[in-house]
């Protein structure tokens, strides 16, 4: 369940980053100008990273004991975090790359939990 929430949060974050340049002129009219602030992006990214860490650790501890989903998660978060350090033309690639890695970490965690050997199939399926 947490992995699915993490995938949704990451997708919303990527959508926010992609659509922000298009919607930027309309935000003050809607009273949503705070969404254009980089601080908001960092807060949302940190919440996504925290949720991802909790979801992956839950699967790691209970079922699969594999650490590589964490590598994907944190590499994806790092790509998102540094996207502003590069030219605006490259930001989209960092967004897509970061989101893809974070989502892949969650999907791999789900798969590892569903394929676990030391638990009942019903318990594994209910956690994913």
User: What's the pLDDT tens digit per position in 63-118?
Assistant: 888 999 999 999 999 998 999 899 989 988 998 999 999 999 999 998 988 886 55
Which residues, including other chains, have CB under 8 Å from residue 115's CB and lie 6 or more apart?
Answer: 64, 124
Residue 14 is predicted with a pLDDT of: 73
Higher per-residue confidence, 33 vs 74: 74
Residue span of the structural domain in which 60 resides? 2-127
Instruction: Let me know: does 51 contact 9? Beta carbons within 8 Å.
Output: yes
Residue 97 is predicted with a pLDDT of: 94
Count of structural domains, the chain? 1
- The H-assigned helical ranges of the chain are 2-23, 27-30, 38-59, 68-82, 88-114, 121-127
Angle made by CA atoms 5, 39, 100, in degrees to the nearest 5: 40
Query: Per-residue confidence at 4, pLDDT binned at 50, 70, 90?
Result: confident
Higher per-residue confidence, 60 vs 34: 60
Instruction: Let me know: does 99 contact 15? Beta carbons within 8 Å.
Output: no
């Amino acid at each position: 369940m947490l992995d699915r929430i993490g995938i949704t949060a990451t997708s919303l974050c990527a959508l926010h980053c992609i659509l922000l340049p298009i919607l930027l002129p309309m935000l003050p009219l809607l009273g949503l100008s705070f969404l254009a602030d980089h601080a908001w992006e960092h807060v949302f990214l940190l919440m996504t990273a925290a949720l991802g860490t909790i979801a992956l650790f839950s699967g790691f501890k209970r079922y699969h004991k594999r650490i590589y989903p964490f590598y994907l998660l944190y590499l994806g978060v790092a790509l998102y975090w540094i996207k502003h350090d590069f030219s605006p033309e490259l930001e989209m690639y960092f967004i897509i790359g970061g989101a893809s890695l974070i989502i892949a970490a969650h999907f791999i965690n789900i798969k590892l939990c569903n394929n676990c050997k030391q638990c009942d199939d019903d318990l594994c399926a209910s956690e994913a």
